[in-house]
Amino acid sequence: MLTRIKNLQEYKNVYAASVDDPESFWASQAESFTWRKKWDKTLDWDFNGPDINWFVNGKLNITENCLDRHLETRGDQVAILWEPNDPNVPTKEYTYKELHAEVCKAANALKSLGVGKGDRVCFYMPMVPELAIAVLACARIGAIHSVVFAGFSATALADRIKDATCKMVICSDFNNRGVKHIPVKKVVDDAMAMGCDSIEKVIVHKNTGDDLNMVEGRDIWWHDLVDGQSPVCEAEEMDSEDILFILYTSGSTGKPKGVVHTCGGYMVYTAFSFTNVFQYDPGDIYWCTADIGWITGHSYIIYGPLLSGATTMMFEGVPTYPDAGRFWEICEKHKVNQFYTAPTAIRALMAKGEDLPAKYDLSSLKVLGSVGEPINEEAWNWYNINIGKGNCPIVDTWWQTETGGILISPLPGITDTKPCYASYPLPGVQLVLMDSEGKEVEGNNKEGLLCIKFPWPSILRTTYGDHERCRQTYFSAYENMYFTGDGARRDEDGRYRIIGRVDDVINVSGHRMGTAEVENAINEHDNVVESAVVGYPHEIKGQGIYAYVIVNDAVTDDDEFRKEVLKIVTKEIGPIAKPDKIQIVSGLPKTRSGKIMRRILRKIASSDASNLGDVSTLLNPEVVTEIKEGALV
Ligand code: PRX
């Protein structure tokens, strides 16, 4: 049986055991799954490679653990509960038996097109059940899924398709999201026109049924392909370390990288963390509002809950449609027990007042979760009082695309909670704070750079097609450590508070973005010579995007120029990367070696320009005054 911690003493004991002898601890967790062949060795690792292998030579298929394993015990229990964008459209339910059959049909459909073990399949879909079904279908036949958030642009989609040389794209025709009607397949068509030569077929799921142009020989309707398939499909035998999926995420430099997760360790860790962080009991209705295009959706809508035999809800819509009470209406309607969302959503709903949540019966809620960015104290308190009614522990979960699962979080009802603190590490997670000189920061009441000194089962294994980049990014800052890119504080009792990124990554509404990516997009504008992008505190989004831009020819119409820049960013990345503020400047503050002093730009953007430190050593100190005077604050 997977360990489900029930009290504080047990947390302490389990944590101590997991650090004393991680291999025995994780082997005992792994025992609770169905393996075709047991592993020979629990762990083989070297952070210098990095070369990390969990459950060495173990054979399994994760979908047998998500689906087949539950058929006898809970075949008629709802596995996926789907709530549509339009509250007047009926909810859909798939029991474990039905989900198993649908996944097998989709798996057979993919096989009929020649998709097999190791092939990459790209997804560009809204939050419809077919997305979860097709993702699991890939895993069933050993194909590697690469889900791209359906808010990304055609250019961003094409980049990801090419990087992973995907064989297929699975998309929807259109998507209704709030009041918007989004032409999803059109974005795929545009991406295909950008030289995605590896793509053999585009599979189109009919979602809204609006008129569509199907490309002959390339495009196939999902229903034509899947409906007639057999509901039985033998799962492919996978090695623990075979790739389960690739998920692209942004870093400080260059294009987004494909984070690689593998079958065995990811399975064990997502199930373990789900069970403990959400304290899921049989019969509970669990709802994570994330999109499956992000890691939260992978680990805590699909895999973690299904591995645990839970009922997991998928929501197609947005929190503000038809009004800003939608989340609470859904909680009441489905008697949701565990609710997991992002601080940006809480802040946006908080701004709409307390009357909306007060209209609904939220008494079913037991645990409230937060993920993706720091949750400020005001939002934490509002969530606690207005949604949890002071009775639901808030689990502020810290983790990353690269970590695969939640690494720091309170355990509800077991460890205490404190606003702004993700608090304690989960079993098996060995956190350290480092200083900038490479020394460990010992003791409590200290700040440092957050690192992890021992592998946990769902740590990333590589970045797709570029192992050296993985080493450089995560394993080279400190010897024998995984570097998270976050700064953190350890309080007097050993709780961790995440301060934020220490690199050039910004977090806008919980969406992670590299400033370099946004700059590259802005620089595509004909009149832009150079740009520098920084984050600044934003009341709702957590961070907003502030762009400083040098132009070639003087801009006569500021508004028009702004619109053009936003259009380019939307085309290159997607609307989520649109700068909130654009300031035209004559120069950027640079060191004598030509490096942009972002620290100064960040301070100016954050209305904190009173103490910029000594700027006299800059190559061009005079621009600082100009930038300060023209700042859009
Ligand atoms: O800076 C941290 C922030 O989000 C980053 C990871 O982003 P991503 O890979 O997109 O994954 C988000 C969902 C797991 C982290 O480096 N972050 C995530 N959770 C928290 C957080 N910052 C503060 N508190 C959190 N609970």
The pLDDT of residue 611 is above 90:
no
Question: Over the stretch 233-258, which tens digit does the pLDDT of each residue have?
Answer: 999 999 999 999 999 999 988 899 99
Contacts of residue 340, defined as CB under 8 A and 6 or more positions apart, other chains included, come to 278, 286, 287, 288, 289, 290, 296, 300, 368, 369, 370, 371, 397
The residue to which tokens 């229990």 are assigned: 77
Q: What's the pLDDT score for residue 420? A: 96
The pLDDT of residue 617 is above 90:
no
Closest CA relative to residue 518, chosen from 470, 570, 587, 586: 570
CA–CA gap between residue 209 and residue 181 (Å, rounded): 12
Q: Find the angle CA(512)-CA(589)-CA(522) to the nearest 5 degrees.
A: 45
What is the token pair recorded at 333? 């309607």
Q: What's the pLDDT score for residue 360? A: 98
Q: What's the pLDDT score for residue 320? A: 97
DSSP symbols for 339-398: EEE-HHHHHHHHTT-SHHHHTS--TT--EEEEESSPPPHHHHHHIIIIISTT-S-EEEEB
CA–CA gap between residue 219 and residue 427 (Å, rounded): 47
Question: Over the stretch 1-56, which tens digit does the pLDDT of each residue have?
Answer: 899 999 999 999 999 999 999 999 999 999 999 999 999 999 999 999 999 999 99
Question: Over the stretch 121-164, which tens digit does the pLDDT of each residue have?
Answer: 999 999 999 999 999 999 999 999 999 999 999 999 999 999 99
Give the atom of ligand 1 at the shortest distance from the alpha carbon of 397: 26
Instruction: Report CA(201)–ligand 1 centroid distance (Å).
Output: 35
Q: What's the pLDDT score for residue 1? A: 86
Residue nearest to atom 23 of ligand 1 (CA): 374
Give the atom of ligand 1 at the shortest distance from the alpha carbon of 505: 1
Q: What's the pLDDT score for residue 359? A: 98
Closest CA relative to residue 257, chosen from 547, 472, 508: 472
* pLDDT average, residue stretch 495-516: 95
CA–CA gap between residue 171 and residue 564 (Å, rounded): 29
CA–CA gap between residue 207 and residue 89 (Å, rounded): 13
Strand (E) or helix (H) holding 162: helix 154-163
Residue nearest to atom 22 of ligand 1 (CA): 373
3-state secondary structure 580-597: CEEEEECCCCECCCCCEC
Give the atom of ligand 1 at the shortest distance from the alpha carbon of 402: 9
The pLDDT of residue 224 is above 90:
yes
> From residue 631, how far is each of 312, 576, 584, 599 by CA, in Å?
46, 23, 9, 15
Confidence band, pLDDT 50/70/90 cuts, at residue 194: very high
> From residue 198, how far is each of 123, 169, 372, 426 by CA, in Å?
14, 10, 33, 41
Give the atom of ligand 1 at the shortest distance from the alpha carbon of 294: 10
Instruction: Report CA(327)–ligand 1 centroid distance (Å).
Output: 22
Q: Would you tell me how many other CB atoms lie within 10 Å of the CB of residue 279?
A: 21
Question: Over the stretch 551-565, which tens digit does the pLDDT of each residue have?
Answer: 999 999 999 999 999
Instruction: Report CA(403)–ligand 1 centroid distance (Å).
Output: 10
What is the token pair recorded at 134? 């097709």
Instruction: Report CA(370)–ligand 1 centroid distance (Å).
Output: 10
Q: What's the pLDDT score for residue 253? A: 84
Residue nearest to atom 10 of ligand 1 (CA): 512
Burial 403-428 (b: 16+ CB within 10 A, else e): bbbbbbbbbbebbebbbbbbbbbbbb
Contacts of residue 113, defined as CB under 8 A and 6 or more positions apart, other chains included, come to 168, 200, 201, 220, 225
CA–CA gap between residue 507 and residue 500 (Å, rounded): 9
- Percent of the chain, pLDDT > 90? 97
Question: Over the stretch 407-441, which tens digit does the pLDDT of each residue have?
Answer: 999 999 999 999 999 999 999 999 999 999 999 99
Q: What's the pLDDT score for residue 57? A: 98
Residue nearest to atom 6 of ligand 1 (CA): 400
Hey, which of 407, 498, 506, 541 would you mutate to test ligand 1's pocket, going by the most ligand atoms within 8 Å of its Cβ? 498
Instruction: Report CA(498)–ligand 1 centroid distance (Å).
Output: 9
Lowest mean pLDDT among 91-100, 410-419, 565-574, 617-626: 617-626
Q: What's the gap between Cα 73 and its chain centre? A: 31
Strand partners, 220: 203
- Percent of the chain, pLDDT > 70? 100
Instruction: Report CA(247)–ligand 1 centroid distance (Å).
Output: 15
Residues with CB under 6 A from ligand 1: 249, 295-296, 371-374, 396-401, 422, 484-486, 498, 500-501, 507, 512
Q: Would you tell me how many other CB atoms lie within 10 Å of the CB of residue 506?
A: 26
Residue nearest to atom 15 of ligand 1 (CA): 400
CA–CA gap between residue 110 and residue 137 (Å, rounded): 8
Q: Are 279 and 366 in contact (CB under 8 A)?
A: yes
The pLDDT of residue 609 is above 90:
no
Confidence band, pLDDT 50/70/90 cuts, at residue 357: very high
Q: What's the pLDDT score for residue 612? A: 87
What is the token pair recorded at 123? 């997804």
Query: Is the pTM here over 0.85, yes or no?
Result: yes
Q: Are 512 and 519 in contact (CB under 8 A)?
A: no
Average pLDDT of the residues of the chain? 97
* pLDDT average, residue stretch 165-179: 97
Q: What's the pLDDT score for residue 610? A: 84
Give the atom of ligand 1 at the shortest distance from the alpha carbon of 422: 26
Contacts of residue 56, defined as CB under 8 A and 6 or more positions apart, other chains included, come to 39, 40, 41, 42, 43, 44, 240, 241
Q: Are 278 and 395 in contact (CB under 8 A)?
A: yes
The pLDDT of residue 302 is above 90:
yes
Residue nearest to atom 12 of ligand 1 (CA): 372
Instruction: Report CA(512)–ligand 1 centroid distance (Å).
Output: 8
Residue nearest to atom 4 of ligand 1 (CA): 372
The pLDDT of residue 165 is above 90:
yes
